[in-house]
Structure formats: structure tokens, C-alpha cells
Homo-oligomer: A and B are copies of this chain.
């Protein structure tokens, strides 16, 4: 595990607090650790234990005290030993390859849909990575303006996604040329029919002060796939509105876990179709930290907001 070494590396530049380190991990795509509290604070406890860092507690009037960590000589030596040691091989995980290997007998249309969904995921991921890269800690450092190798790193990361998109193009071309034998026994796709939206999501059109909005009540099932977003948009177009009120139940577990990419994909679609969405959640509901961060990022825009009070939500939606 080189997390500890990476922390030492960061501290070799300047002393930092756990929280700062955590934010760096969060905002840097090639630092593949999620940077959750447990990991970071545990790592510091270990490093302190081994004498690789020193802790300075800074008490602040009327504020929680900070722990500022400084690297020790032993820590610096450890870090340099790590740099001199063997480099790990690069690894990847691509579920799409597993699917493709196992979905050998799928119908062409289903394969195309799968690849298209993958392409959208990759594009999203690439955009996210680019954005994060350009505002991450390494992009612009105090001493030398920017890290000497940042350009190389950036290129490496983005080329990963670029070559994936290029491969998708090839794969699409390949399956387009496949003979589609209707008589063949195809593995059926399950649960991809369009009419499920109506039955599953329980949408109601409401009106307030002459303005319409679509209300997805908690009684229906949550937004669990990108298809659900498409269905919502279709309903909006049908009823000539661009405002959607989501009951808390509509936010599925997959939705609030950002790494599934679902929230990103759905909200991107909302942006594309100029649709405003307000979610009303119970007061006590806890979301993953990443999701909360995303919420606060969306606060700047006019696409998505989370409320606890339904009236406030509608107010914003129609305002």
C-alpha cells in the first residue's frame, strides 16, 4: 500500500493537516484512493507511530483545533527509499470487457445500446477527470508555478479515456458489420422496455400559479438507470414543463453513490434538456460525502438542488 508513501511525498513539500491531505486525494483523479476519513486518519496514526511525521496541535479560539503534520528526517528517508524502489505495474478494471466476453450471444441492438451507454460513461468520466485535474493541487503549485511533469500526467490520464473511446468506435464498427440472423437464439434483455417508466415511477403533473411541474412521488421506484432519466425527460416534453420535483425516495442508492456515474449521467441529461430538478429529502437523511460535495457544486447552477422543505423546493423550481 503506497498511500502512506504518497502522504509522505505530499508532506515533503509542506506541512499539512489531515483535512488538507484528504482534499488533495479527493480532487486528484490519478491518486486513486478515495481519501475517506478512515484511511487518512489511520494512515497518519501509523506514520506518527513509526516516527515518519511529527504532529503539531494548533488550538484555535472557538474553533476545533488543527493537527498540522510535518515530515521527519526518518520520514523523508523512507519516502526516498520508496522512490528508489520498484514501481508497481499499471492495472485496469473494465467491466465492459467482461460483459462483452459473456454477452457473446446478445442481439445486435442490445450490444449497440450497451456500447453507447459505455461511451457516455467514459465521456463523462473523462470530462470529470479533466476538470478535476485542472483544478487539483498539483496543477498549480506555489514554488515552480506548476509541477514539471503535470503535463505528462495529464496526458496519460486523458489518453486512457481517449483510447477507450477510440476502441468503442472500432467495436461499434465491428458489431455493425455482424450479420444479424433473426432466426438465431438470442439472449433476451430484461427490463429495458419503455413503458416501465409510467408504471414504475408514479409521476403526477401539478400546477401552481399557472406553472406546471412534474412530481415524482416516493411511492414509485427510485431513479436507478439512465433510462429513467430519459423517461422523465420524455414526460416533461409531453406535459410541456421543465421542472421536476423528486421525492426523496426517487434518489436510489446507486444515484447517491457518485462512483456509479448515475447521478452524473442523469444530471448531465437534465442540463442538456434544460430541466430543473429539486429533490425533497427527509430531514435526517445522510448522503455519502461525495454526493454532498456534488450537491454543493450544483448550488452554483440552476439544474439541481436538494431541500428538506417541499414548499421551498417548489418555490425554487418555479421561481
Tell which of B86, B101, B121, B150 touches A147, judged by Cβ atoms closer than 8 Å. B101
> What B residues does A9 contact at CB under 8 A?
98, 101-103
Tell which of B144, B150, B189 touches A101, judged by Cβ atoms closer than 8 Å. B150
> What B residues does A152 contact at CB under 8 A?
100, 167, 170-171, 174
Q: Counting CB contacts under 8 A, is A93 at the interface?
A: yes
* A161 and B163 alpha carbons, distance in the complex (Å): 11
Q: Counting CB contacts under 8 A, is A91 at the interface?
A: yes
> What B residues does A149 contact at CB under 8 A?
100-101, 104, 171, 174
CB pair A87–B118 under 8 Å, yes or no, is yes
* A85 and B125 alpha carbons, distance in the complex (Å): 18
Tell which of B31, B121, B148 touches A104, judged by Cβ atoms closer than 8 Å. B148
CB pair B97–A30 under 8 Å, yes or no, is yes
* A12 and B171 alpha carbons, distance in the complex (Å): 24
- Chain A interface size band reads 35 or more
CB pair B122–A89 under 8 Å, yes or no, is yes
Tell me the interface secondary structure of chain A in the complex: helix
CB pair B102–A12 under 8 Å, yes or no, is yes
For chain A residues 152-181, which have a beta carbon within 8 Å of chain B? 152-153, 155-157, 159-161, 163-164, 167, 170-171, 174, 178
* A81 and B190 alpha carbons, distance in the complex (Å): 5
Q: Counting CB contacts under 8 A, is A61 at the interface?
A: no
With A86-B262, A189-B80 given, is the CB distance from A159 to B148 under 8 Å? no
> What B residues does A192 contact at CB under 8 A?
84
CB pair B190–A95 under 8 Å, yes or no, is no
> What B residues does A262 contact at CB under 8 A?
86
For chain A residues 71-130, which have a beta carbon within 8 Å of chain B? 77, 79-81, 83-104, 106, 110, 114, 117-118, 121-122, 124-125
Q: Counting CB contacts under 8 A, is A261 at the interface?
A: yes
With A84-B189, A86-B254 given, is the CB distance from A97 to B164 under 8 Å? no
CB pair B94–A226 under 8 Å, yes or no, is no
CB pair B156–A97 under 8 Å, yes or no, is yes
CB pair A191–B90 under 8 Å, yes or no, is no
Q: Counting CB contacts under 8 A, is A188 at the interface?
A: yes
With A83-B99, A167-B159 given, is the CB distance from A91 to B32 under 8 Å? yes
Q: Counting CB contacts under 8 A, is A2 at the interface?
A: yes
In this complex, which of A79, A89, A114, A159 has the most chain B Cβ atoms within 10 angstroms of its Cβ?
A89
* A125 and B87 alpha carbons, distance in the complex (Å): 13
